[in-house]
Structure 1
Amino acid sequence: MLTAMVCGAVVFPGLFCSFRKILKHIFRQWSDADIVSVSERLLSAIHACLATAAGAIIVSSCRDVMTDSHWLVNNFTLFGAPYMAFDLYAMYLSHYHTERVRGSSTAPSSHSLHAVWAFLVKEWMLVLHHTALLLIFMPITLFFRRGLGDFFIGCLFTTELSTPFVSTGKILIQLRLDNTRLHRINGFFVLLTFFTCRILVFPFMYYMYGRQFGIPLHKVAFHLPLQCNVGNLVILAPQIYWFILLLRKANRLYQRQRRQQGDKDKTKAD
């Protein structure tokens, strides 16, 4: 299993460095902030696709939701751990270069504890998410499950399905394609996949557990240990928060496009 972690430690930093070199060669007019930001998004999309594929394989292979096991669970957890650690660094680089390009009064002039602290304050929820996956989710998956529940770990892997669409949306904005039909279609899939795979997946897991043991969905929670329900709530809560933010952003974009269309129609009428 150590081999999987070593592979992850080579693959993800290698991809990030490769993306930076390729993008810098193709988009010579881009700033370091643009290049690092897009490279980090591409890396996130690739990891998310791999996680979703692994999750789908695990879920489809486990007939018994509690006792069936799959080798991908532990191996992909170890393979993805270096990504979680490295992505924190990549997000910090993106924040650092973006603040420097903006030239705000609080922008860091060089890498320092102040620059790191500014990043932690601004992106505290994403940092907490990555840290929790490394320090809580990974040990539980590898050591404390006693080989049970691979099906549910596979379900949690599939929550990454929305990430490629989120990353694509940000890349389209970077390419100044945010007013295109492609961006609107991508936004629809962001909302659809996020709601389906990050929110509905939790009642789905409860339903599958209840179906196997003959328990109605509304009673499943009472048959599970308290720590299972609390753990699910801890994971679900930020997903609901992020989904609300996505809905607000989608509404702002919709209202802006309506105003722009109204202005165009008014200009034609005049």
Structure 2
Amino acid sequence: MFHALVCGAVVFPGLFYAFRKTLKHSFRQWSDADVVSVSERLVSAIHASLATAAGVIVVTSCRDTMKDSHWLVNGFVVFGAPYMVHDIYAMYLSHYHVQRVRGQSRSYSSHSLQTVKAFVCKEWMLILHHLALLLVFMPITLFFRRGLGDFFIGCLFITEFSTPFISMGKILIQLGLDDTRLHRLNGIVVLLSFFTCRIAIFPFMYWMYGWQFGIPAHKVAFHLPLQCNVGNMAILAPQVYWFILLLRKAKRLYQRQKRGKEDGSKDRPRTD
């Protein structure tokens, strides 16, 4: 376990550092905010891809949803723990440089308690999400499960499947490709993958448990300990909130593009 922890503590900050150096050299016109933001997204996509791969391996290996175990569960939880700490730092660094670019040079002339407070107020839900995974999910997974439920932990790993596509959308915007077919296609994939792997996967877990023990899906929740249902709801609630935000963003983008097409058709000279 110690080796996995050290490996995670080296890999994720190391990737972040390498991406910053490479992007700064390759895109000299980019500001520090651009470089840090894209670097953070790339590292996030890599972590999410690894988590998804680990989840698929665990889920497909566990035939018994409660008793089957796989070494990847504890191993990846420990390996991914440093990422949670690193990502909070990377998000803060991105926030800091973005605010400087937006003209907040006086308030953001240097790192201070004020800049940290502004970051926490803006990104409190993501920070809480990371801390909950680190301080609640990890101890429960490692010490309090008694080796049960690796299948469900694998399913929770798979919830990260949509993250690389979310990161890709941010990067496409950064590259000025937000009005392209690739960006629109990626947006559709984001919505589908987010709903499937971050929301629908919870009913799927209940259904699999009920299927194994011969319990109707709508009665599974009453056969589980209260803390299991509360934990699932605590994880599901922010996913629903973020999905609603994604839908609103997609709607705004669609309306903006529709208005652009209408304005373009009005300006086009008639040939009849």
Which TM-score band (shorter chain)? over 0.9
Alignment-derived partner of residue 226 in structure 2: 226
Q: Aligned equivalents of 1:149 and 1:109: distance in 2?
A: 49
Q: Aligned equivalents of 1:107 and 1:190: distance in 2?
A: 35
Q: Aligned equivalents of 1:141 and 1:85: distance in 2?
A: 18
Alignment-derived partner of residue 129 in structure 1: 129
The answer to whether structure 1 residue 157 and structure 2 residue 157 are counterparts is: yes
Q: Aligned equivalents of 1:123 and 1:180: distance in 2?
A: 29
Alignment-derived partner of residue 113 in structure 2: 113
Matches within 5 A, 1:17-56: 17-56=17-56
Residue 267 of structure 1 aligns with an amino acid whose one-letter code is D
Alignment-derived partner of residue 237 in structure 1: 237
Matches within 5 A, 1:4-15: 4-15=4-15
Query: What RMSD in Å do the two structures reach over aligned CA positions?
Result: 0.9
Q: Aligned equivalents of 1:173 and 1:94: distance in 2?
A: 15
Q: CA deviation at 1:110?
A: 0.6
Q: Aligned equivalents of 1:158 and 1:193: distance in 2?
A: 10
Aligned pair count reads: 270
Alignment-derived partner of residue 181 in structure 2: 181
Alignment-derived partner of residue 57 in structure 1: 57
Q: Which consecutive residues of structure 2, in runs of 5 or more, have no partner in the other structure?
A: none
Q: Which consecutive residues of structure 1, in runs of 5 or more, have no partner in the other structure?
A: none
Q: CA deviation at 1:26?
A: 0.3
Q: Aligned equivalents of 2:31 and 2:50: distance in 1?
A: 29
Alignment-derived partner of residue 102 in structure 1: 102
Alignment partner of 1:261: what SS?
helix
Q: Aligned equivalents of 2:238 and 2:108: distance in 1?
A: 29
Q: Aligned equivalents of 1:269 and 1:201: distance in 2?
A: 51
Q: Aligned equivalents of 1:107 and 1:171: distance in 2?
A: 27
Q: Aligned equivalents of 2:75 and 2:251: distance in 1?
A: 40
Q: CA deviation at 1:104?
A: 3.2
Identity %: 76
The answer to whether structure 1 residue 260 and structure 2 residue 265 are counterparts is: no
Per mean C-alpha deviation after superposition, the further-off stretch among 111-120 and 98-107 is 98-107
Q: Aligned equivalents of 2:77 and 2:269: distance in 1?
A: 60
Q: CA deviation at 1:105?
A: 7.4
Alignment partner of 2:268: what SS?
helix
Alignment-derived partner of residue 73 in structure 2: 73
Alignment partner of 1:177: what SS?
coil
Q: CA deviation at 1:267?
A: 1.2
The answer to whether structure 1 residue 147 and structure 2 residue 156 are counterparts is: no
Q: Could you tell me whether the CA contact under 8 Å between 2:198 and 2:236 is conserved in 1?
A: yes
Alignment-derived partner of residue 2 in structure 2: 2
Residues 153-206 of structure 1 deviation map (CA, whole Å, 9 limit, x = unaligned) = 000000000000000000000001000000000000000000000000000000
Q: CA deviation at 1:106?
A: 7.4
Q: Aligned equivalents of 1:190 and 1:15: distance in 2?
A: 24
Q: Could you tell me whether the CA contact under 8 Å between 2:99 and 2:105 is conserved in 1?
A: no
Q: Aligned equivalents of 1:194 and 1:225: distance in 2?
A: 27
Q: Aligned equivalents of 2:5 and 2:147: distance in 1?
A: 19
Q: Could you tell me whether the CA contact under 8 Å between 2:55 and 2:157 is conserved in 1?
A: yes
Runs of 4+ with >4 A deviation: none
Q: Aligned equivalents of 2:106 and 2:220: distance in 1?
A: 50
Q: CA deviation at 1:269?
A: 4.4
Alignment partner of 2:64: what SS?
coil
Alignment-derived partner of residue 246 in structure 1: 246
Alignment-derived partner of residue 88 in structure 1: 88
